[in-house]
Amino acid sequence: VKGIKHLDKRLKYFIFVASIFTIANFGLYMFLLLRARDITGNIMIPLVLYVLFNLVYAGFAVPFGKLSDKIGRKKVLVMGYVLFLLVSISFVYINMILYLAIAFILYGLVYAITQSNQRALVSDLSGKMKSTAMGFYYSMTGLVNIPAGIIAGLLWDVSYKTMFWYISVVAVLSVVLILFIREK
């Protein structure tokens, strides 16, 4: 706790924003797989879509990292958060396998954009306290996974639409909050 007190305020704010985003993004791929199974009635198609998601994520992580190095982390993260919002909303309406495949590809892009660039921004904002900053980032995003999973599961039991709308609302909040990040 002593070290956390000395972290830059911009970093603390970003970790707050990333934690809000994590609430929306918690285990979403699992719910996407469940939704894919519900739509297709097949357990193999969601597995193929999951492989597709991971191939896109792996294939685009480096290019989005390079883009972030060139134009700035915030711009790239805003793009990722907005894309996440669009993917979340799309799952309220998707009912065909073609659209499922497109949504899984887009979600792979979301992961390629957000996973490494959130960590890179933490590193950029941490100064000489990189390990403390990373520890704080992982502690906070890890802690919010607990209520996020419970909330998402309960809402899924109400209806998949309710859960995806909830995720979309939290994603809107994440998009608004990230706009106030100051990188420099």
Closest CA to 108 of 60, 152, 47: 60
Contact of 63 with 138, CB cutoff 8 Å: no
Is the domain covering 2-178 a CATH 1.20.1250.20 domain? yes
As a whole number, mean pLDDT of residues 27-56 equals 91
d(CA 49, CA 78): 25
Inform me whether the pLDDT recorded for 72 exceeds 70.
yes
As a whole number, mean pLDDT of residues 117-145 equals 95
Inform me whether the pLDDT recorded for 26 exceeds 90.
no
Instruction: Please list, residue by residue across 28-49, b when 16 or more beta carbons sit within 10 angstroms of its beta carbon and e when fewer do.
Output: bbebbbebbbebbeeeebbeeb
Label residue 130 by pLDDT band (50, 70, 90). Answer: very high
Average pLDDT score over the chain:
94
Inform me whether the pLDDT recorded for 117 exceeds 90.
yes
Contact of 156 with 31, CB cutoff 8 Å: yes
Inform me whether the pLDDT recorded for 1 exceeds 80.
no
As a whole number, mean pLDDT of residues 33-37 equals 90
pTM: predicted TM-score of the whole model, two decimal places: 0.93
